[in-house]
Amino acid sequence: MSQMPQQAALSKCPSCAEPVESGDRFCGACGYDLSVVPVPPQDHPTLTMTGSAPGSPGDGVDWPAPEPAGPGTPPAVHLPADLPGTDSGGSPLPADAPAGAAPHGHEPGAPGDEPGAAAHGDETGVPQPAGSGVRFDRPAEPDEYPLQAPDPRVAEHPEPTAPPEEPAQVCVACRAGRVDSDGYCENCGHAQPRERDHLERESGPVAAVSDRGLRHHRNEDAFAVGHTTLADGTPAVLAIVCDGVSSATRPDDASSAASQAAGDTLLAALPRGTHPQTAMHEAIVAAAQAVNALAEEPATAREHAPHQNAPACTIVGAVVAAGLLVVGWVGDSRVYWVPDDRGAPAARLTEDDSWAAQMVAAGLMSEAEAYADERAHAITGWLGADAYELEPHTASFKPDRPGVVVVCTDGLWNYAETAEEMCEVVPPDAATRPLHGARVLVGHALDGGGHDNVTVAVVPFPAPPQGAVSA
């Protein structure tokens, strides 16, 4: 059953500190309820570090008996090492050897028996306290650890590493934006120059330059130049220039395919002994086949629209070999003859496949009237799958004096249309410096406005001997 709490014996009121008597339940001065004062806790003795109270029996540890105190003898000090211990496996350590006795397995007179040597110590002779729990029977640590040999299969078949990423192209206009895959700056939108925007090439004594011009967004012209020998060892040089039809699909691919095919055909046919004029005809046919093949490619089908034509281009070429000057063309790109002696007449060696040329040939307009008409540059012949009929034009000439042959697109002859005008802009040293001459002619077109792509090849006549290098 429940019990009443016992009243604490107080000598004074815990509230006002007035003295109270034993048995009082309330303070006479302030009326404080003395019955609510808790009973003081029972006192507990403080335990020692060994866990037993002073004077209580030991906790199972037999401490060594203290030596009797004598006059001048300091009190004995007990160390933890004086008690027996266990090793890491829980086994008891060996007891201390008697004073003066050698450790187990140690013969008297062996190293370590010098006076003052410790009874317990490691192999280095460092003394260790007895019963410290340190084992001395472990094998010595090796100075070096053997390493495992590499797996030869890893060396034979190394894991492929990813190629390093190419640094991002920076815009040439703002110098800050990155260029996307379409060739435009992501920051300012400026179109970046393409590889075909300006091309220059030399092959022996012949050279060519092509430029995008100042108005077009890409260069749709292409060229091929080369030099070889005929079957009898006579040197031969050649130049092919193609102009992509802008109203057709993929005009830049068409001109590139045509020039490459025509150039390769000439370089293969001339050394076999094929007549240069026949070789030129074969080259134009090969170029037409290369352009026709583009119409069957999936890329053309994706871009083709009802109002667009198949890939198309014009072509013009010249071969100088064995004292002959052979030209061939389809379209309105031209070949001009400019003699070194500027007192001799220059000449245009091709006739345009164009509306203006047909009007002049039919006697319906003068040349000035026809080329002033807005329909003047509408071509009537080209290379392409939708061409009416392929009619390669070829002609052979035998100039009686040295000079240069200028093979060009309408991007140049629009600014030097007649033979006399072309003769005036061709540098006098063009035969010995054909690349310089081609650069000058392209610069003339750009200075005139550069409304179209400009491509010019300069071929010296006669062909210099093999090994001659232009300046």
Structural domains of the chain, with CATH: 197-461 (3.60.40.10)
Lookup: tokens for 403: 């000079």
Which of 410, 437, 408, 411 lies closest to 425, judged by CA? 437
- Kindly state the DSSP code that residue 292 receives in the 8-state scheme: H
User: Given this model, what pLDDT does residue 143 score?
Assistant: 72
The predicted pLDDT at position 170 comes to 82
CA neighbours closer than 13 Å in the CB half-sphere of residue 341: 7
Alpha-helical segments (H) within 79-228: 152-156
Going from the C-alpha of 239 to that of each of 48, 87, 223, 385, 460, the distances in angstroms are 113, 98, 7, 24, 11
Name the residue type at position 183.
G
- What is the predicted pLDDT for the residue at 178? 87
pTM (global) more than 0.95: no
What tokens appear for 265 in the block?
């055909």
DSSP letter (8 states) at residue 263: H
- Contact status, residue 399 vs residue 335, Cβ threshold 8 Å: no
Cβ-based burial of 267 (10 A; exposed 0-12, middle 13-18, buried ≥19):
middle
Spans of the chain below 50 pLDDT: 1-5, 51-54, 58, 97-124, 130-131, 469-471
Structure tokens at 347: 């000449």
pLDDT of residue 104: 47
Which residue shows structure tokens 């934006």? Answer: 177
Residue 187 CA, distance from chain mean position: 21
> How does 302-323 read in b/e, with b if 16+ C-beta sit within 10 Å?
eebeeeebbbbbbbbbbbbbee
Q: What pLDDT score does 202 carry? A: 96
